[in-house]
Structure 1
Amino acid sequence: MLFLFGTGKSTLKNQYPLHQCTCPNCHQTNTMIAGTVARYFHFFFLPVFPTSKDNIAICRHCNANFSYGQFTDEMKQAFDSQYNVNPNSRPIWHGCGCFLILMAIFFFVVLLIIGWFKSKDEPEKPEDKREAFLKTDIHKTKSKPSMETDSTSFYIKECLDGLLQDELDKNGIGYFSKQNGNKILIILHIDDMKKIKSSERHYMISIVKKCLELHEGYEDKELYIGIDGRWNMVLVSTPNGSDTKGKFADETLLLPFYDKPQNDIETVEIKKDSNDVNREGKK
C-alpha cells in the first residue's frame, strides 16, 4: 500500500507592497511585494498539522525572491509596518487533518466503551453453560426484593437496612437468591463497594450469613454467596471454597451451585414383555 505524505505550502492571503524599496537584484524601485508562505505536513494530501511560516519578497521586475533574512533594512521596515497592522494568520484548514484524526480516535474510544458496556450487560456464551447461568443471575439483582417472589433476599435486605449506617448506599444494593435442591445462591450487587477497604470487605459475607441465622430453614442449607462490585465479583463464599480478599474474587467457585442435586433421580418407566404378563396370568 502506497502512503503519500510530506510537506506542502500555501501563500497566505495578505500581501504587502514595499513602497520606496529598491530590489537588491535589479535595483528597481517600487517593484517589490512581500507575503507569507505557510508550510504544513500532509498525509494522503490531507493537511494534518502546520510546520512553519516564512516571510518572503518577490520583485515583479526580475522575479527574484528573498527570504526575510535577506531583506534590506528599508524592506524590513516597510514590511513590518504593514504586517503588524494586518498580520497574516494561518488558515484553520492547515490543521484539519489533526482534528479529523482526533475525532476518529474519539469515536473509536466511544465505540469501544459502548461495546464494553453491551458485552457487560449481555451474558457471554462460554463453553461451560453454568457460567452463562451465573451471568444471567447476576443481572437479575433488584434493589427492592419482595417477600412473595424472593423471601431470602427480602430477609437479607431487611437485616442490612438495620445494620448499615452510612457505610453504603442502602438503596443502591441489588439482591437476588435462587434455590437448587439443598443449595441456595445469594448474590448482592454493590456499586459503591469502594467505600469499604479491601481488607475489611470480607465482613459482608459474615453479615449475610448472620442475617440468615435469624430465620429458620437455613440451618442445613449449602450457601453460595457472591458479592458483585461495580465492575467484577469481589467476594465469594461457598461450601467448596471461598475467595474473600476483597478485590477480584474467583466467581467460578459459584458454578457448582448449578450442578444437578445428587438426590434428584429421574423416574424410569419399566415395561413388561408379553412372557412376563403370561407368567403372572398363570399364577
Structure 2
Amino acid sequence: MFIFGFGHRTLKKYGKIISPCLTCSKGQSNIDFIRVTIWFTLFFVPIIPISKKYLLICSHCKDVEEVDKKTFFDYLNNTIKKDSFGSENKNNQTVWYGKTETQINYLKEMERLKKERERIINEN
C-alpha cells in the first residue's frame, strides 16, 4: 500500500526591499521576496517539486503579487535601486538578509581583506 499526494508547501524567503507599494500607496513599505514550492509526497515525505510560485508581498497591506521567475530575480539581484526622487541608493538589506551575525561579520571581513589585497597589489 502506497500513500501519495501533493500540496505540501515550502516557503523560502529571499530578502526584502524598501519600496512603495502599488496597492496601498503607503510611502515606503517592506516588500518581501518569497518562493512557494508545491511538492509531490510519498508517505508524507516531499519527493518532487510540482510547481514554484514567486511572490512579492507588501508588509503593510499584505498584498500579494505573483511574478515570473525572471522578474523576481531581476528585482532581487538589483541591489542599486532608484528611490522616488531618482537618486541611487545602495540597498544592502538583500545582501545580508537571511544570514546570521557571524556570517555577516565573516563576509565583511573577507571584503575588507580583498580590498586590502587589491590595495597592496596596486601599490607594487
TM-score normalised over the length of structure 2: 0.49
Kindly indicate whether structure 1 or structure 2 has the higher relative contact order, using CA contacts under 8 Å at least 6 residues apart.
2
Q: Which has the higher strand share?
A: 2
Structure 1 length-normalised TM: 0.24
Which protein is richer in helix relative to its size? 1
Task: From the CA coordinates, give the structure whose radius of gyration is larger.
Answer: 1
